[in-house]
Amino acid sequence: MFYFSKMQAIGNDFVIIDDIKNNFEYSFKLLAEFFCDRHYGVGADGIIVVDTSDVADFKMRIFNSDGSEAEMCGNGIRCFAKYVYEKKLTDKEIFQIETLAGIKEVKLTLENERIVSMVEVDMGEPSFDDEKIPVIYLDGRDEKGIKVEENEVYPISMGNPHAVCFVDDVDKVEIEKIGPMIEDYKYFPNKTNVEFVQIIDKKHIKVRVWERGVGETLACGTGACAAMVISHIKKSTESEITVDLPGGKLEITYNKKVILKGSAEFVFEGEIEI
C-alpha cells in the first residue's frame, strides 16, 4: 500500500509523498498526473515529494498536475515544513529545505508545542536577469514590459518564472483566455506563471494566478511574492503588504530578500494501491 497526505495552503492543495519512507521507484510525473486528477484521483494542484538532502535538512521536489517538475512553490514549501515537523521527521523550529530554486530557510510558529500554526519562508532575492527567469526578447527589449496582445507584463523570477500584469479589476479578467496565452508566449522558453494584480492601496493588493502547468489556482506563494515585488517597484506600494488571493491572504515583506508568511493545513490522509 502507498501512503500519502493531502494538504493545502490557502486553497493551493497538494498530495504529500514521504519518499524517505516509501522509497518510491516509479515515475513522479505519472504519479502526479494520477494523484492530481480531481475525478479519478485524489485531486490536487500538484504533488510534493519529501526526500533526504546532502546540502540541507530536507529536499523538496514538486510536480505540477500535468507532470512537469517545478523549481519552487511558496505554498507548497509551507505544507512541506508543517509536514516534516508534525510527522516528527525533525524537531527543529528553524531549518533548511533544498529545492531546484536553491536552499530555502523556514521558521515555524508553534501552537501547543507540536502544531505548526504559521510558517515563515525566506524566499531569497528576486531576479530580473533575463537568463535566470528565463525570458528571451525576440522582438527587442522593452523596459516598459512585454506586450502580449493588449496586456503589458513584467517578467521576474522567484526561483521560477513569473509574468506580472496590472489590471483595474482582477474579478473581470478573462483568465482562462489570457492566462494560457501569456504562459505559452514566445518570449518564455520554459513557459511562465502569470499574475493579474489589482492595487487596492499602498499596503494591499489583490491577485489572481494562472499557474504554469496547472491553470488557475486559489493561491500561489511564489506568484504572490512576484506580484508584491513588481507592485513595489512599479506602483510604489510599501515594503510590507497583504496579498489577497482567492484562497486567502499572505503577508509578504520585501527588503532585498522576500519573506513570505502564511499557514498550512492537513486535509486528510490515505492509502492507495499502486
Q: What are the catalytic residues?
A: 73, 220
Rounded Cα distance, 6 and 226, in Å: 26
* Ramachandran angles phi, psi of 188, nearest 5°: -110, 95
DSSP letter string, 140-209: ---TT-EEETTEEEEEEESSSEEEEEE-S-GGG--HHHHHHHHHT-TT-TT--EEEEEEEEETTEEEEEE
In single-letter form, the type of residue at position 208 comes to R
**Beta strands, E only, the chain:** 2-9, 12-18, 46-51, 58-64, 69-70, 94-99, 102-111, 115-124, 146-148, 151-157, 161-166, 193-201, 204-211, 215-217, 240-245, 248-255, 257-262, 265-272
In single-letter form, the type of residue at position 104 comes to K
